Structure 1
Amino acid sequence: MKFLKASCCALAMATALALSSPVKAEDWSLAKAAEPFKGETINVIFLDRPGYRAIIKLLPQFEKETGIKVNYEIVPYENTREKEVLNFSSQGDLTVALVDLVWVGEFAENGWIVPVDHFTSDPSITDPKLDLKGFFPLLLDAFGTWGGTVYGLPFDNYSGLLFYNKCMLKDAGFDKPPATWDELLKTYAPKLTNKEKGTYAYVLQSRRGETQSADSFMRFLWPFGGSLLNKEFKSNLSSKESLDGLNFRQALAPYMPPGYVSFDHAEAVNALAQGQAAMLTEWSAFYSTLTDPKTSKIGDCLAVAPEPAGAAGRLPALGGFSLAVASQAPEEQQKAAWLFIQWATSDAIAKDYVEAGGVSGRTKVYEDPEIKAKYQFVEPLVQSWQKGVAVFRPRFPAWPAISEIIGEWGSKMQLGEVSVEQGAKEIGSRMEDVLQKEGYYDGKKKLLQ
């Protein structure tokens, strides 16, 4: 199953939930709904990324209106899943779960998060304007839905985009960005790379860990027709298409800054921001970083386009999170958390959220003429979410273990410690061992979700 589309189940549920509340919109308010929960404190983990800094800016508005305190801890992404799992396993104090799209299966199957319909059945705490159909269907399905049940609402949503320095491209004789990966490598890269001046055509975040597995390794499978797994859930990494993509990644290395294999998002974004690299494929959420004069020198030279197309077409990355209510929390805190999640992902604050640096999962905000005119990322972002996006990372509970394998051997490939072919075989065999132990080959677990 190569592409993730919004499932019929999720859409049907979204429709039912959107219409389930008998309360009239004019009779419901966030302040009134929150009255029983004044003084409650809810706990949530945030990341040190633009979307979270944006919601933090807006938090005083929620706390003033509701009397509910939001206690947040900023944690590196690499430590977030482990920290949350330990908290859930020990019946800790988290009230709101931050759920990466590849964690939703694990969190749902372990009963750590509460289905949304548990709360939408209570009109006193559910905004009649919630409108789940107002989210991009792809996002609601990918980030918040498991087995046809909605668990969380999309928050901090990403699409892979091509950010580029149009001034550097113009100086090299180009009046538009490359449309294909092949064009980027063969035509653009040689003219945009000057090692004596320390300038390079392209930069790829590749640090060992989830950055290597999700942002580097997987990015070059789908556009070339490859995939991590075949329909039997066996490794597909030794297929011609997968090897074509991984070998292409190796071919880009001479046109990237030295040490790029150790670059995380911050270093890769900074390479474009400081004029070291001319092009970067990165999540839409980093647009605010690249347009901030405090962190970026690129200024008016910044431009945004869809990711280049490969032999299999234009298949940009999809990433993001949902916010879900933690089942371990006491009932009153769960209800307070549900009010916060609705507010944080609502149409009502979507424009303020985008203007503060976040990327909303709501469709309506991107129809706003001011937003469309002000933010270059809107058009390619909406295009990718409307047409469907390849899900690079399988959404099953075994992903974290597989990610570690890819992180190790994918890095070895880039560093030349093993060949692409050898690395693909190592990842494939180790990945199948994990899936075998997890019960995916004996019918204990569903193969595809």
Structure 2
Amino acid sequence: MRLFTHAAAGALALAAAALCAPAQAQDWSLEKAAEPLKGTQINVVFLDRPGYRAIIQLLPEFEKKTGIKVNYEIVPYESSREKQVLNFSSNGDLTIALVDLVWIGEFAENGWIVPVEKFTSDPAITDPKLNLDGFFPLLLDAFGSWGGKVYGLPFDNYSGLLFYNQCMLQEAGFDKPPETWQELYETYAPKLTDKAKNRFAFALQSRRGETQSADSFMRVLWPFGGSLLDKEFKSNLLSEESQAGLKFRQDLMQYMPPGIVSYDHAEAVNALAQGQVAMITEWSAFYSTLIDPATSKIVDCLAVAPEPSGPAGRLPALGGFSLAVAAQAPEKEQKASWLFIQWATSEDIARAYVEAGGVSGRKSIYEDADIKAKYKFVEPMVASWQKGVPEFRPRFPAWPAISEIIAEWGTKMMLGEVSTEQGAKEIGTRMEDILAKEGYYDGKKALLQ
């Protein structure tokens, strides 16, 4: 079963068109393209995360060059989808959609976002150096593509990595991080946990919501060979492999801080940064927070490695967002939004974006020797993007409703209110009810996108 679209060929075709279409390619500039759009205002939702703070830092350059005003509102991740859906449903003022990889199906099928082919066919507003092939194919495919079309360009890009305090590991007698989840649990965790001193081996961000469903629950399925759904789109959570992953999470909790079910990304990152925990599996985007002396006490001790392997292999988490033009925006605002999206994800500003704390989706920036040497997260992250990952989170339109169910019962599992078997059964029944109502079992909807 494949839940990621495979739009690589389409992306390459679009890239070729973008490169070849403008007859006056050498004359194109962002400033010239924006001349008819000066004074236009565009609106977008941002998150309080490093990648967004990085682009905000660079915004004056775009606004100065174009005369286009970018209005942004910073909202918590947990309410960002709902806020956008309400805006699109009421024909509001958002001109750009911030699209999580699991929202792409919902946003595209509801007609809330516009395929980029509308804009790449217009040489006046499309940079001849757009080069869609310059993105990691996995990211363009997973974050911005649906139904064989590209809708958005990868902007805030994540790979799951193991961040660890090498000083704490060395004090415990370890000269390298754990290679496997079992090794982390059996060998490392007991020696790195001292509850009397409020020190713990590991923290797994697990707050109820998308953090629970995606960053905690789903993270332990794939390495153990489990999955949310089987090939018939029926629940696979009672399989031996899925149960092994969920039970492992329950066992590992004894080496996590109390109240781990209330930890979001910020709390998990801060626990490592303050020396409370020795290891976390977190998104690559949080590297800049962990090396900032203003927020981290472990700058000199921070090290990064790939996520541990499980019985099914090394299958790291994949997450991230794309920026897409909102269909509700008037034509002028759509063009201005497209110019901003191209600029924000371009190869031209990739270095500045990375140095400001963002994680670019462009391949070329990570080929620079100084970038690889300066940023410890680059090599394990790029390695995880080269070969791809399994369907870490389904991207179909029904995901938001299913995510709420997983968040509820996944939390109950962690709190010990239900067993992993009981929780899996409850999730499976409710999930299949949603998919049945959505038409996934009667041929109304294609299972593969």
Determine if the TM-score, normalized by the shorter chain, exceeds 0.5: yes
CA distance in 2: counterparts of 1:287 and 1:151, whole angstroms? 28
Amino acid paired to 2:155 = F
In 2, the alpha carbon distance for the partners of 1:246 and 1:196 equals 27
Q: Residue in 2 aligned with 1:273?
A: 273
Residue deviations 1:358-385 (CA, integer Å, cap 9, x gap): 0000000001111111100000000000
Provide the rounded CA distance (Å) in 2 between the counterparts of 1:2 and 1:176: 35
Q: Measure, in 2, the Cα distance between the counterparts of 1:64 and 1:110.
A: 35
**Match of 1:426?**
426
SS of the aligned residue for 2:142 comes to helix
Corresponding position of 1:158: 158
Question: In structure 2, the residue corresponding to 1:292 is in which secondary structure?
Answer: coil
Distance 1:359 1:338, change over 3 A: same
CA contact (8 A) 1:34 1:336 kept: yes
1:181 aligned to 2:185? no
Q: Which amino acid aligns with 2:174?
A: F
Deviates more, 1:400-409 or 1:19-28: 19-28
Kindly tell me: are residues 74 and 333 of structure 1, through their superposed partners in 2, closer, same or farther at Cα, counting changes over 3 Å? same
The answer to whether 1:375 aligns with 2:375 is yes
Partners of 1:18 and 1:398 in 2: CA distance: 33
Moved more, 61-70 or 75-84: 75-84
| Residues 310 and 24 of structure 1: CA distance in aligned 2, closer, same or farther (over 3 Å) | farther
Give the Cα separation in 2 of the matches to 1:320 and 1:339: 21
Q: How far apart, in 1, do the equivalents of 2:7 and 2:236 lie?
A: 25
Deviation per residue, 1:289-329 (Å, 9 max, x gap): 11111111011100000000000000000000000000111
In structure 2, runs of 5+ residues without a counterpart are: none
Q: CA deviation at 1:392?
A: 1.7
| Equivalent pair of 2:305/2:377 in contact (CA under 8 Å) | yes
2:242 counterpart SS class: helix
Residue in structure 2 matched with residue 144 of structure 1 by the alignment: 144
How many Å apart are 1:447 and its aligned residue? Answer: 1.1
2:366 maps to amino acid: Y
Are the counterparts in 1 of residues 160 and 317 from structure 2 also a CA contact under 8 Å?
yes
CA distance in 2, matches of 1:2, 1:178: 30
State the 1:2 CA deviation. Answer: 5.8
Q: Please give the residue correspondences for 1:29-428 in structure 2 after superposition, counting only pairs within 5 Å.
A: 29-428=29-428
- Secondary structure of residue in 2 paired with 1:272: helix
Asked if 1 retains the 8 angstrom alpha-carbon contact of 2:165 and 2:302, the reply is yes
1:5/1:388 contact within 8 Å kept = no
Q: Which amino acid aligns with 2:313?
A: G
SS at match of 2:156: strand
Q: 1:337 to 1:220 in 2, by over 3 A?
A: same
What residue ranges of structure 1 are gaps of 5+ in the alignment?
none
Letter in 2 for 1:156: D
Q: Provide the rounded CA distance (Å) in 1 between the counterparts of 2:137 and 2:72.
A: 28
- Residue 437 of structure 1 is matched in structure 2 by 437
SS for the counterpart of 2:362 is coil
Looking at structure 1, the residues matched to 134 and 12 of structure 2 have their Cα atoms a distance apart, in angstroms, of 13
Task: Write the distance in 2 (CA, Å) between the matches of 1:267 and 1:213.
Answer: 17
- Distance apart, 1:16 and its partner CA: 3.6
**Contact 1:10/1:145, CA 8 A, preserved across alignment:** no
CA distance in 2, matches of 1:32, 1:231: 51
User: What does 1:13-28 align with in structure 2 at a 5 Å threshold?
Assistant: 13-28=13-28
Secondary structure of the residue that 1:32 maps to in structure 2?
Answer: helix
TM-score normalised over the length of structure 2? 0.98
Q: Structure 2 vs 1, CA of residues 111 and 2 (structure 1 numbering), >3 Å: closer, same or farther?
A: closer
Aligned length: 449
Superposed displacement of residue 393, structure 1: 1.1
User: Deviations 1:21-61 (Å, cap 9, x if unpaired)?
Assistant: 23454211000100000000000000000000000000000
What residue identity is the alignment partner of 1:358?
G
Moved more, 81-90 or 129-138: 81-90
> How far off its partner does 1:10 sit?
3.5
Query: Could you tell me how far apart the structure 2 residues matched to 1:227 and 1:2 are?
Result: 12
SS of aligned partner of 1:201: strand
SS in 2 for 1:348: coil
User: Which secondary structure state, in structure 2, belongs to the residue aligned with residue 164 of structure 1?
Assistant: strand
Percent identity between the two aligned chains:
78
Question: Could you tell me how far apart the structure 1 residues matched to 2:219 and 2:415 are?
Answer: 17
Q: How big is each residue's C-alpha offset from its partner over 1:341-362, in whole Å with a ceiling of 9 and x where there is no partner? A: 0000000000000000000000
Separation of aligned partners in 1, 2:310 and 2:3: 16
RMSD: 1.2
- SS of 2:196's partner is coil
Shift of 1:9: 4.0
Which letter maps to 1:66?
T
Partner amino acid, structure 2, of 1:370: D
**Paired AA for residue 344 in structure 1:** A
| Cα distance in structure 1, aligned partners of 2:179 and 2:150 | 36
Once residues 258 and 29 of structure 2 are traced to their aligned partners in structure 1, the CA distance between those partners, rounded to angstroms, is: 55
Q: TM-score, normalised by structure 1?
A: 0.98
Q: 1-side partners of 2:36 and 2:442: how far apart?
A: 49
- Is 2:5–2:148's contact at 8 Å kept on the other side of the alignment? no
**Alpha-carbon distance between aligned partners in 1 of 2:270 and 2:353, rounded to the nearest angstrom:** 23
Task: Name whichever of 212-221 and 366-375 sits farther off.
Answer: 366-375
3-state SS, counterpart of residue 173 of structure 2: coil
Q: CA contact under 8 A between 2:19 and 2:130: conserved in structure 1? A: no
Q: Is residue 104–residue 395 contact of structure 2 (8 Å, CA) maintained in 1?
A: yes
SS in 1 for 2:348: helix
